[in-house]
Amino acid sequence: MERERLSKAVVFLHSGTGVWRRMPPTDLTRNGLSFDSPVLYALDRGEDNLRLMDFYPDRRFYRYERAPGVVHGHLTPLE
């Protein structure tokens, strides 16, 4: 996700990463204690994501998904 150069963003993790060394979404949501990093990571909770989106109105929102067996996932902007 670094190549996307995100800033002031929240990424909802719909799936994990890795093909050989897998990491589930719960391992990828390690944010700082103050939650003021340029990019925050959260588990994708469907409709419940709206609550977090309301809490951070100044950020852009994305969903990260990776198909099983595929090396690279993709980010989808959310409105």
User: What distance in Å separates the CA atoms of residue 64 and residue 7, rounded to the nearest whole number?
Assistant: 15
Return per-residue pLDDT of the chain as tens, 79 residues: 555 689 999 999 998 777 777 777 887 888 888 888 999 999 999 999 999 999 999 999 999 998 887 878 899 999 8
Question: Residue 3: its pLDDT value, please?
Answer: 57
User: What distance in Å separates the CA atoms of residue 31 and residue 62, rounded to the nearest whole number?
Assistant: 16
User: What distance in Å separates the CA atoms of residue 55 and residue 73, rounded to the nearest whole number?
Assistant: 26
Place of tokens 């951070």: 56
Structure pTM?
Answer: 0.82
Question: Residue 4: its pLDDT value, please?
Answer: 64
Number of domains in the chain: 1
Domain that holds residue 64: 2-78
